[in-house]
């Protein structure tokens, strides 16, 4: 799926890291327009509504990014209070919890926090079917959400003692007489410096540091007599992991792939991100640096990420300002390989082109068709607003008319006001829509 050319695509950024990460300032050659606004909303909010995109064009990039990173508390606080009441009911079953999280993604006034919560969940890769219960999994998701834009250190310290992580990593019993090297290796490989940056001795020391921690009846419990005091504590282990600059490098690369591009960057380009992360590991300033950069608004990033199934479905629902039943949505996304509570491997979900093959493309088309169907599991609730029933509007909303003239003209020629759902489906199957 080749990416289309971004309006600011003549930036020369890959061989000039300082310019790449400098703040984007619109000018005549690199204008702030509908394509830029929609690109920003795809990466930070799954997608933008028409009103959001129009406001973004009026406000410009700086004010729009401010609003996405720091959404108005008068909108966020009541939403969170409402969902706090819904969480307890959602934790009754894994399916209900999955439906609740998808509904939260669709309706939240703070979508960047949900996107970053999904990022961390992909990184920790804890499976609900191993966590043991919806309540345990909900506690883990709360932990990730609370620190999603905070500091990696406190998140990691809490996570290595979280019952969902202990059970999910086969480490529910860390005994002094039998340190869990498998647990320690996974922590160092995935959440610390990564392969090639630790030794067998590091694994053994990390395993001893975690002795004494148990997951019992859905809670984490520290049993002091089972801890090897000579090895240091779990907090000492986390400090050791964070002190290794390779940990910051691995995290920087993961953030780059999540927010910028599926294509791995050269070392020279990733170095400023490492410098921004290390040693404090403050996430929010690094995310803000990435979103404000020339690189983000260049053709290096523009439509250079394949949408995951969740991004595809939630983005369509949010852009059309709809709300659909999320239990069937969870099942359909699971069939596409994106069960939001059960990453398939210890490395999380696939990314980039690995989401795309002949079978998955048919599945992606099917889920869009089902969401748009006048009847069926989604009850015909997703449609274009009556006052916007216009084919040109559909192209501008969904792909910002970012199509070759022949393709756009063919779609418009076949469109009729009473068949706009078919037009939306056709647009959503285009390569341009499948790319974030």
Residue 427 domain flag = yes
Q: What is the pLDDT of residues 280-320, one digit of tens each?
A: 999 999 999 999 999 999 999 999 999 999 999 999 999 99
Q: What is the pLDDT of residues 62-108, one digit of tens each?
A: 999 999 999 999 999 999 988 877 877 788 899 999 999 999 999 99
Q: Check residue 263 and give its pLDDT.
A: 94
**Per-residue buried b or exposed e for 110-140, using 16+ beta carbons within 10 Å of the residue's own CB:** bbbbbbbbbbbbbbbbbbbeebbbbbbbbbb
Q: How many residues does the chain have?
A: 436
Across the range 151-172, mean pLDDT stands at: 98
Q: Check residue 1 and give its pLDDT.
A: 46
How far, CA to CA in Å, does 221 sit from each of 160, 333, 414? 12, 35, 63
- Both structure tokens of 373: 């169907």
Residue 193 domain flag = no
Greatest CA separation found in the chain?
75
Query: Cα-flanking dihedrals φ and ψ of residue 101, to 5°?
Result: -65, -40
- Name the CA dihedral angle for 221, 224, 228, 230, rounded to a multiple of 10 degrees: 120
d(CA 290, CA 425): 32
The mean-pLDDT minimum among 60-64, 121-125, 361-365, 407-411 falls in 407-411
Q: Check residue 10 and give its pLDDT.
A: 47
Instruction: Assess whether pLDDT exceeds 80 at residue 324.
Output: yes
The average confidence (pLDDT) of the chain is 94
Residue 249 domain flag = no
Q: What is the pLDDT of residues 201-233, one digit of tens each?
A: 999 999 999 999 999 999 999 999 999 999 999
Percentage of the residues of the chain whose pLDDT score is greater than 70: 96
Q: Say how many C-beta atoms besides its own lie within 10 A of residue 387's C-beta.
A: 7
Instruction: Assess whether pLDDT exceeds 50 at residue 9.
Output: no
Q: What is the pLDDT of residues 21-54, one digit of tens each?
A: 999 999 999 999 999 999 999 999 999 999 999 9
Residue 303 domain flag = no
Range of the domain at 54: 23-64
Residue 323 domain flag = yes
Alpha helices, DSSP H, located in 169-214: 181-186, 200-209
Q: Check residue 163 and give its pLDDT.
A: 98
Whether 256 and 199 have beta carbons less than 8 Å apart is answered as no
Q: Tell which of 35, 64, 93 closes a domain.
A: 64
Structure confidence at residue 160 as a pLDDT band (50, 70, 90): very high
Residue 174 domain flag = no
Q: What is the pLDDT of residues 168-179, one digit of tens each?
A: 999 999 999 999
**In 3D, which of 285, 278, 282 has the Cα closest to residue 249?**
278
Residue 252 domain flag = no
Residue 116 domain flag = no
Instruction: Assess whether pLDDT exceeds 80 at residue 415.
Output: no
Q: How many domains does the chain have?
A: 2
Q: Tell which of 11, 36, 64 closes a domain.
A: 64
Q: Tell which of 48, 64, 80 closes a domain.
A: 64
How far, CA to CA in Å, does 375 sit from each of 106, 316, 384, 396? 21, 18, 15, 26
Residues 6+ apart with CB under 8 A from 291: 40, 43, 44, 65, 68, 69, 259
Q: Check residue 85 and give its pLDDT.
A: 74
Structure confidence at residue 268 as a pLDDT band (50, 70, 90): very high
Structure confidence at residue 384 as a pLDDT band (50, 70, 90): confident
d(CA 45, CA 53): 11
Identify the sign of the CA torsion 309, 310, 313, 318.
Answer: negative
């Amino acid at each position: 799926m080749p990416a289309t050319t971004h309006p600011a695509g003549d930036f020369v950024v890959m061989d000039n890291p300082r310019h790449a990460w400098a703040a984007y300032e619109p000018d005549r050659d690199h204008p702030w327009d509908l394509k830029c606004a929609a690109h920003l909303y795809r990466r930070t909010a799954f997608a933008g509504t028409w009103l959001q995109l129009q406001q973004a064009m009026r406000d410009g990039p700086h004010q729009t990014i401010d609003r996405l990173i720091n959404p108005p508390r008068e909108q966020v606080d009541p939403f969170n209070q409402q969902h706090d009441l819904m969480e307890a009911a959602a934790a009754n079953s894994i399916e209900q919890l999955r439906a609740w999280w998808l509904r939260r993604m669709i309706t939240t006034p703070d979508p960047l926090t949900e996107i970053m919560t999904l990022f961390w969940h992909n990184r920790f890769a804890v499976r609900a079917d191993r966590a043991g219960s919806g309540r345990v999994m909900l506690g883990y998701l709360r932990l990730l959400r609370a620190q999603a834009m905070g500091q990696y250190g406190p998140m990691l310290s809490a996570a290595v003692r979280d019952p969902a992580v202990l059970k999910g990593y086969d480490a529910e019993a860390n005994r002094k007489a039998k340190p869990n090297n498998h647990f320690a290796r996974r922590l160092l490989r995935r959440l610390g410096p990564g392969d090639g940056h630790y030794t067998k001795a590091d694994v053994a020391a990390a395993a001893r540091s975690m002795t004494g921690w148990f997951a019992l009846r859905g809670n984490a419990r520290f049993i002091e007599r089972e801890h090897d005091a000579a090895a240091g504590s779990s907090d000492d282990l986390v400090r050791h992991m964070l002190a290794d600059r390779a940990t910051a490098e691995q995290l920087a690369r993961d953030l780059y792939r999540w927010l910028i591009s599926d294509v791995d960057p050269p070392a020279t380009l990733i170095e400023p991100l490492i410098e921004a992360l290390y040693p404090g590991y403050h996430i929010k300033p690094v995310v803000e640096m990435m979103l404000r950069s020339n690189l983000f608004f260049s053709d290096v990033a523009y439509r250079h990420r394949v949408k995951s199934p969740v991004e595809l479905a939630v983005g369509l629902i949010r852009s059309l300002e709809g709300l659909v039943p999320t239990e069937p949505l969870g099942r359909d996304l699971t069939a596409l390989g994106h069960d939001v509570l059960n990453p398939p491997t210890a490395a999380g979900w696939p990314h980039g082109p690995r989401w795309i093959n002949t079978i998955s493309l048919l599945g992606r088309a099917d889920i869009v068709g089902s969401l748009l169907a006048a009847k069926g599991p989604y009850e015909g609730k997703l449609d274009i607003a009556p006052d916007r029933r216009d084919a040109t509007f559909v192209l501008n909303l969904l792909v910002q008319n970012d199509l070759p003239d022949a393709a756009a003209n063919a779609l418009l020629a076949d469109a009729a006001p009473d068949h706009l759902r078919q037009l939306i489906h056709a647009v959503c199957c285009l390569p341009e829509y499948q790319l974030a």
